[in-house]
Structure 1
Amino acid sequence: MQYIMFVLGIVFALLIWKAVNKYNLFNKYNKYVVLVVMSLLIAVVLEIFTFNYSAFAGKKTEHFALDIATDNGQWDYDEGNNVINKSTAVKDFKSETNNGSITYTAELEVNGVVSDIDVILDTTAKTVEGQLYYKDQSLTTEYSKIGIDDWKIIKGLPASGHIKTHFAGKTSMLKILLKTDDANAIKNIRLKVNYPKNFNFNLVRVLLLALLMTFIGVVYFTTNKKQMGWKMFTVALLIQMVFVLGLFMINNATFDENGKYTGENYSSEIDVYNELTLALTQGKVDLNGVNTQSKAEEQEEIEALQKLDNPYEWKQRAGMVYKWDRAFYNGKYYCYFGIVPVLFIYLPIYLITGILISTKYVNIFLILLAVIMMYKLALTIADKWYRKVNPWIVLGTMACFVNVSMLLYCVNGAKFYEVATVSALACAIGGIDCIINAFEKNKTKKKLLLAGAILMALSVGCRPNFALASFIVLPLVLNGLAKSGGFKKTKGKRRNLINYIKAVFSKKNITAIVVFAVPYVIIGMGLMYYNYIRFGSIAEFGAKYQLTVYDTSYYKMTDLSKLPIAIARGLLMPPTVNSVFPYINAVAESSNYAGYLYGISYVGILANPIMWLIVMLPWSLKRGIKKSGYRGFAIAGTVMGLFMCFFTTAMGGISLRYWADFAWMLFIPVIFVIFDLYTRAKERKIEKYMFIFLGVLVCATVVMHMLMVISPSCSSLNNAVPEIFYRLRDMVVFWK
C-alpha cells in the first residue's frame, strides 16, 4: 500500500501539470498566478502521498509496545499481540552511572520480523545518544550494531526516535543503549515495534518545494528576456539576504525543555572588540583593566605570564587564567584584530546608546553588507561588459559569488574572527566597485575614486593582509588614468610604455592621483601610529604576540613546504561525499607537515563546479576580456588570489573562515569567463545550450554550499541546535 501511495503522489502531480497545459491555463490567465497555484497543488499532493508514503504502511501483523520504568526496571506490556512472550519480553534492563553520565541498557526478546522501531523517552535532556544492536537469522551468535553512528533522540522531535530496520528474517533479540547526563535522567522508556511512521504534514517542505517549482517556472518564462530591470535583481538580492538571515536565525534558535521553539538568542560574551571599545572610551588602546572583576587579580595574571620563559607557548600557560587570543606585549593586553570595525560600528553605538553591541549583530550586518556589495560588483561588471548578457546568467553569477566567497561559513561562527574578515571583505569589494565606476570613457569621477580608495585603505585596517587587495585595483586605476590622459596605442612596445606612463601622470590626472593617494596616506599613517604606540613598530599589527594555540612569531612566508598544502587544501581538495545527511562535508586529514600547522576542516576553492571555468581564463584573456578592457584586472585578481592563498596558509593555517580572504579574488576572473562564454555561445546561435550548461554549474555550486554549510564538518548546528538540524534531516530524508 505504501509504495502505491508513493507512486500515486507522483502520478497526481504529473496530472496536475498536464491539466494546466492541456487547458492552456498559462495563456488564458496570468501565467505567474497559475504557476504559483499549480506549484502549491503539486507540492501538497507530493507531501500527502509521496513524502509521507511510510505512514500508509499500516501496522504489521506482529507488533507491540511496552514501557520501562528506569528507576526499578519494571515494565508494562502496553499493547500488541503475541509476537513476544509477555513474561519475558524484557530479558534484561540496567542503568549505570559513570563520570556524570547515565547509560541505560534494555534487552528485548522479540522472535519476530521487525520492520520499524520507535523509542520515546520521558526526560528533560535536549538530546539522548542511542545505539541499537540486534540478532537475526543471519547473525545468531552475538549482537550486531546497526550502521548508524550518530543516532540522537531529540526532545520534541518524535521522528528522531524512529528507525526503519532491514534485518534478515526473524529478529530474535534487540538491545538498546541510551546515554544522557545524570542531571537529565530518563524516567521512562517507551518502545514500539512494527508501528508505522506517523503521518507528518511538513508545511515548510511544501512551501520550499512550491517555491522551487515556481522559480523554475519563472526562469522558463523569462529565459529569452533581454532585460528584467532592477526589480528582478532586487528580488534576487532579497531572497539571498533572507537565506543568510534564515541561516543566522537557525544557528541562534532556542528551545525549551520540551523541545518547543522559544525564539533566538543573539547575546554574546564581551569579546576583544567590546574590550577595545571600552578602552578607547577611556583614552587608551591597551585592554588592561577593562572587562575584569578585579584589576589586582588581572595584574597577578599578567605578572605570572611575564615570568614564563615564553608566554606565547600554549602549554606553558596551561592552568593559568588569562585573556585568550589577545596580543600580549610589555605586560599589557591588546587587540590584534583590525580597529576599523570598532571605530565605525562598536564605538559609535556605545557612545550613543551606552550599549556594547553583541558581536553576533555586527557580524550578520557586515555579512549582509558584503552580500549587497557582491551583487553590486557583479552587476557593475555586467554593465561594463561590452555585450549584453542574459539577466539570469548575471543572477546566477551573483549567487555563486556569495557562495564561492565562503561568506556563508562566517554566519556559523559569528565571532570577532569573522567580523575582522567580513568587514575587510565588504570594504574591499565596495572599493573595487567604486573604482570601476570611477572611470567612464575618458572621464574620471573623483568622488567615486576617493570613496574607492578610502574603502580599500580601510580594508587593511580591518585585516592587514587585505593590503594585497589594493594590487587588484591597480590595473583599473592605471588604465583609467591612462585613458583619461589620452593614451592611444601605437607601434612599438617601448613607445607604447612611454606613452602609457606619460598619459597616466599627465597634468590632467594630477588631481585624480592625489585624490586616490591621500586616503592611503592618511589611513596608513593612522594605522602605523596605532601600531607604534602599542608595539613600538609601525609595521607590527600584533600578530606575533598572540596568546593563542601557537607562538606565531615562528610563522614564516619563506616556509615553502606549506605551498603544496596551500595548493591542495586551498585550491584543489574536493569535499567528501557520503550517504549520511547532509551528504557533502568538508575534509579534515593529515598533511604530513613536519611541524605545527593550525587546521580545521577545508575544501578547495576549485571544488566549486562554477570555478572549473577558470581553466578557460587563458582563452578568454585573448578574446572577450581583452575586448572589454579588463584583462589586467582579471589577471591581478587571479595572481593576488593565489598569493593570498599561500600567505593565509603560511601565516595562519587551514580554516574555511580564512578562505574568505582569497576565494572572492579567484572568482573575479571567473565572472568575466562566464560572461565571455555566454557571449560567444550567443554569437554562434547555441545560447540555449550554454544557458543550460552554466545553469547546471550554478545550481551544483549553490546546492553544494547549502548542504555543506550545515554539515557537522563546517557547523556546530547538529550539536548546538539539534532541534533544527534533525528537522532539516527528516524533511529531506523522508524515506527514513
Structure 2
Amino acid sequence: MPTVRQNISYAYTGFMRAHRPAVRHLAKSILAILAVAFLLETFLFNLNYFTSAGYNSISLNDKLNLQETTDEQYKLTAVNHTLEFSNLNTEVHNIWLNFDYRQPAQELTVKIQFTDDAHHTYFDSTEYTVGVPDVAVSTLSDQSEYINLNTAGLVDNLRIEIAGENVSYPIKLSDIVLNAHHPFDFNTGRFLATAGILLLAFAFRPRSAIYRIHIVDEPRKSKAAIIATVVIEVYLMSAFLFMGSNLVGVATQGYNSGSWDGHSIVNTFEVGGDNAQQYAELAKAMAHGQLYLEEEPPQWLQDMADPYDKGARDEAQKETGEPYLFDVAYHDGHYYVYFGVVPVVLFYLPFYLLTGANFPTAIGVLIACVAFVLGCSALLDRFARYHFKRVSLGLYLLLQIPLVTCCGILYLLKFPTFYSLPIMLGLAFSVWGLYFWMRGRASAARSTGPEKWYLAGSLCMALVVGCRPQLVVLSLLAFPLFWRAYITERRLFTPRGAREFACLVAPYAVVAAGLMGYNYARFGSLTDFGANYNLTVNDMTKRGWNLGRLAPALFAYFLQPPCVTGVFPYVQPAPFDTTYMGQTIKEVTFGGILACLPVLWVLPFAKRILALRMRQRSTRTIMGVIVVLLASGVIVALLDAQMAGILQRYFADFSFMFLAAVVLLAFIVNENLSPGTMAQNLLMKVLLVLVAVSVVYSVLVCFVPETGWYSDVYSWAYQDVIETAQFWT
C-alpha cells in the first residue's frame, strides 16, 4: 500500500505533467510582479531617501532656546513650545524634528512659517491663497518627523510652533536639523500591498486565463480559485478588524497588553463604555431568569411624565447628578434591550454561562462577517454554476469582490460594536438562508428530498427577524423562487409538495412564536420589539412617519456625491443640508451608493437586460428575484430613514440587495454574448473599471478618521498609516 508521501508525490507528478507550462508561466509572472513591487518600494516609495542624499545638513540645536533635561534632551512646555530661528540665509528642503522615542507617544500639530526670497514676512492663508498647512507629527513615527518644505530661494527666518489638541507637556526633543538625510525605509506592509494590487491587475487583465476558465466546465480549477479568494478576503477583513484594537475587547500578552490579566492565553475586557454592554447585561439578566436589565433606573426617570424627552432627561440628570442608561428601551420602570435578541442567545448567553465573562462583541461581528463572505460566495457560485452556462471564473470574481466589499460590511468591521452585530448577523443569516433555499430547489427538481434544505433556509431567514427586522424583506424572494413550483404547477396540492411547503413555513412559525412570546413578556404586545421606548436623541414614541424626511434621506443614501480631497484617505464626510423643518437624525455619511459605487450604474439598464432574459428563458424566476431585490432595497432604505435616520452603518441594510441585483444582471448580459467576441471583451473591461472604482472607494472609507476609531484613540499610530500612503511628503 503506498504511503501518504508517495501519494502526494504521484499527485504532484501527474499535475505537473499536465500543467507544467502554465505553472512555469504563473511562477515567472509572480516573480516578475514581486520584483516590480520590490523596485517600487525601493526607489519610488523611498523617493525622499534619494532626493535628500545630497543635502547639506544643518543642526539647529545650538540655537535652541529651550530648557535641557538631565538626559541631554530639550524640553518643550505649555509656555515655551515655539521655536524661532533668524538670519539662517540658507536653502531649506526639509526639517527633521527628532523627538525622544522613549517619551509617551502622542500626535502633535506642527505649524511652520518662514520667510524666503518670495516672502519677506511670515505668510498665512488669505482669501485667495493657502499658507503652509499644519502638519501632524507622531513622536513614535520616525517617518512623520521629516517634513519637506517648498521654499523660494534662501530661507532667512523660520518659526516652528509645536502644539496640538490634548497635548501632554513636557515634550522631549532630541534634535532639530535642516536638510536632513531621510532614512531608507523598506515598508513590508506597503510592499505586500503593492504586490497584491499588481497581482490583482495581472489576474484581471483583459487577456487573463481566468476569463477562459468557465465555472461549469472546469469546476475543480474554479472552486480552488474561489476558495483562495475567500481565504484572502477573510484574512484581510480580520486584520482590519483587529487593527482597531480599542474596539476588539480581547487581550493577550502581545495584543491589548494593557488589558491583559497577566496569566491567561487570552482574556476579554469591556470596551466602548457602559452603553456598549447592553447585550452582555441582557445575557446576565437572562441567566438570572429575567428579561430586563439588572441595573435600576434612577428614581427621577421613573417619576418623569415623559421620560423619552432627551432635553428633559438631561436637565433632570444635571439636577440630581444621577446618570441614566442611554440608547436602551425604558418601559414600566425597567431597562430593556430593543436590539434583536438572537445575538444574545447565540453568543452572549452561552459565553456567560460557560465563562462568567462578557462575550467580545467584535468577535461576534467577525464571525458573522466570515459567515456572510462564505455564504455570499456559495450563493453566487450556486447561481453561476446552475442557472447560467457561460459564467467564467474571471466574471465570477469580478462580481464577488464588490459584492462582499462594497455592501457596507467593511464599515461594520471598522466599528464592530453591538450596533453592527445585529446587522452583520442578519446579513449572514440572509445569504445562507437563500443558499439553502437554492439547494432545496435543486433537490426538489431531482426529487431527492428538499425538506432539510428548506428547513435550514427558512430557519435562517426567520432568525433574521430576531437580528435586524428590516432585513426580513429578503424573505419576499420566496415568491419568485417557489411560486411557479408550488402555485402555478400546483405542487402544493400534492402530498409531497405539501410536506415540502410545510418545511418552508414551519421555521417561520416557530421563530415568530418565540419572538412574539419574548415581546409579550416584556411589553405586553406580540409585535412590539421596544424600539419606540428607546432613550435616544429624539422621542421615538412620537416620531411617527413623515414624508418630509424621505427626500433628504434618499438623497444621502443614494445620490449624494462623494466629498474628496487631495490628502489621504481622500474621501471625506459628505456635507448635509435639508429643508425639512423638523428634527433629522443624522450621523456622518460619505455619499450615496448610486453616486459612489459605479458598479451600480448597471441598474439603469435593468429593464433592457431583463428583456434579454425573458426572450432567453420561458420562466421568470431570475427576473422576479432581481425585481424583489431592487424593491426590497428601496423599502429598507425608506424604513431606515423613517424609523431611525441617516447613518453610515445603515447602508449595509440595503446595499447588498442592489449589488446582488447587479450580479444577476451582469450574468444575464454575459449569457447573451458569445465568448471571445468584442462585445464580451468590452463588458469585461467596463466591469473591471466600475468594480475597481467601487472597491477603492469602499476601502478608503474604512480609513477616514472618525471619533472612537483607531485614528482617534491611537492618533500617533494612525500617523504611520498616513506616512505609508503619502510617501512623498
| Residue type at the aligned position of 1:529 | G
- The 5 A counterparts of 1:266-665 are 267-269=269-271, 271-289=277-295, 298=296, 301-318=297-314, 319=318, 320-440=322-442, 441=445, 443=447, 445-482=450-487, 487=489, 502=490, 504-505=492-493, 507-557=495-545, 559-602=546-589, 603-606=591-594, 607-624=596-613, 627=617, 629-665=621-657
Runs of 5+ in structure 1 lacking a partner? Answer: 1-25, 79-89, 98-102, 255-259, 290-297, 488-501
In 1, Cα distance between equivalents of 2:209 and 2:491: 49
| Residue type at the aligned position of 1:534 | R
2:695 to 696, 702, 705: 702
1:672 to 658, 661, 664: 664
Q: Secondary structure at the match of 1:681?
A: coil
Shift of residue 69, structure 1, vs aligned partner: 11
| Residue type at the aligned position of 1:114 | V
Stretch moving more, 328-337 or 598-607: 598-607
In 2, Cα distance between equivalents of 1:70 and 1:333: 60
Alpha-carbon displacement from aligned partner over 1:628-679 (angstroms, at most 9, x marks no partner)? 7311111011011101111101111111211111111122211111112222
TM-score relative to the length of structure 2: 0.84
In 2, Cα distance between equivalents of 1:435 and 1:622: 26
Q: Label 1:120 to 1:45 Cα distance change in 2 as closer, same or farther (>3 A).
A: same
In 2, Cα distance between equivalents of 1:285 and 1:338: 13
Q: Label 1:567 to 1:649 Cα distance change in 2 as closer, same or farther (>3 A).
A: same
In 1, Cα distance between equivalents of 2:303 and 2:22: 84
- 2:180 aligned with 1:190: no
In 2, Cα distance between equivalents of 1:68 and 1:284: 71
Stretch moving more, 700-709 or 633-642: 700-709
Other-structure match for 1:492: none
| Residue type at the aligned position of 1:574 | P
Shift of residue 718, structure 1, vs aligned partner: 2.1
In 2, Cα distance between equivalents of 1:342 and 1:383: 36
Other-structure match for 1:243: 236
In 2, Cα distance between equivalents of 1:233 and 1:723: 38
| Residue type at the aligned position of 2:151 | F
Shift of residue 342, structure 1, vs aligned partner: 0.9
Runs of 5+ in structure 2 lacking a partner? Answer: 1-19, 248-252, 260-267
In 2, Cα distance between equivalents of 1:51 and 1:261: 30
Other-structure match for 1:208: 193
Q: Label 1:195 to 1:567 Cα distance change in 2 as closer, same or farther (>3 A).
A: same
- 2:139 aligned with 1:133: no
Q: Secondary structure at the match of 2:588?
A: coil
In 2, Cα distance between equivalents of 1:448 and 1:149: 61
Shift of residue 507, structure 1, vs aligned partner: 4.9
In 1, Cα distance between equivalents of 2:453 and 2:23: 47
Q: For the Cα contact (< 8 Å) 1:253–1:261, is it kept in 2?
A: no
Alpha-carbon displacement from aligned partner over 1:574-628 (angstroms, at most 9, x marks no partner)? 2222100011234142233322112122221212011111112111211226737
Shift of residue 526, structure 1, vs aligned partner: 1.3
Shift of residue 570, structure 1, vs aligned partner: 0.8
In 2, Cα distance between equivalents of 1:94 and 1:199: 28
Q: Label 1:45 to 1:352 Cα distance change in 2 as closer, same or farther (>3 A).
A: same
Q: For the Cα contact (< 8 Å) 1:389–1:675, is it kept in 2?
A: yes
In 1, Cα distance between equivalents of 2:243 and 2:539: 36
Stretch moving more, 244-253 or 453-462: 244-253
Q: For the Cα contact (< 8 Å) 1:268–1:359, is it kept in 2?
A: no
Q: Secondary structure at the match of 1:225?
A: coil
Other-structure match for 1:295: none
| Residue type at the aligned position of 2:517 | Y
Q: Label 1:635 to 1:733 Cα distance change in 2 as closer, same or farther (>3 A).
A: same
| Residue type at the aligned position of 1:213 | L
2:718 to 715, 725, 736: 725
Shift of residue 689, structure 1, vs aligned partner: 2.3
- 2:222 aligned with 1:229: yes
Q: For the Cα contact (< 8 Å) 1:562–1:649, is it kept in 2?
A: yes
Shift of residue 422, structure 1, vs aligned partner: 0.8
Name whichever structure is richer in strand by fraction: 1
In 2, Cα distance between equivalents of 1:724 and 1:105: 24
Other-structure match for 1:156: 140
Stretch moving more, 420-429 or 375-384: 375-384
In 1, Cα distance between equivalents of 2:131 and 2:513: 61
In 1, Cα distance between equivalents of 2:115 and 2:63: 24
Q: Label 1:452 to 1:61 Cα distance change in 2 as closer, same or farther (>3 A).
A: closer
In 2, Cα distance between equivalents of 1:684 and 1:38: 27
| Residue type at the aligned position of 1:163 | I
In 1, Cα distance between equivalents of 2:562 and 2:45: 28
In 2, Cα distance between equivalents of 1:71 and 1:107: 9
TM-score relative to the length of structure 1: 0.83
- 2:46 aligned with 1:108: no
Stretch moving more, 209-218 or 393-402: 209-218
Q: For the Cα contact (< 8 Å) 1:428–1:459, is it kept in 2?
A: yes
Q: Secondary structure at the match of 1:682?
A: coil
Q: Label 1:303 to 1:44 Cα distance change in 2 as closer, same or farther (>3 A).
A: same
Other-structure match for 1:30: 24
Other-structure match for 1:493: none
In 1, Cα distance between equivalents of 2:565 and 2:212: 38
Stretch moving more, 238-247 or 428-437: 428-437
Other-structure match for 1:490: none
| Residue type at the aligned position of 2:288 | Q
Alignment RMSD (CA, Å) = 2.9
In 2, Cα distance between equivalents of 1:468 and 1:714: 32
Alpha-carbon displacement from aligned partner over 1:12-37 (angstroms, at most 9, x marks no partner)? xxxxxxxxxxxxxx959722222222
In 2, Cα distance between equivalents of 1:579 and 1:124: 31
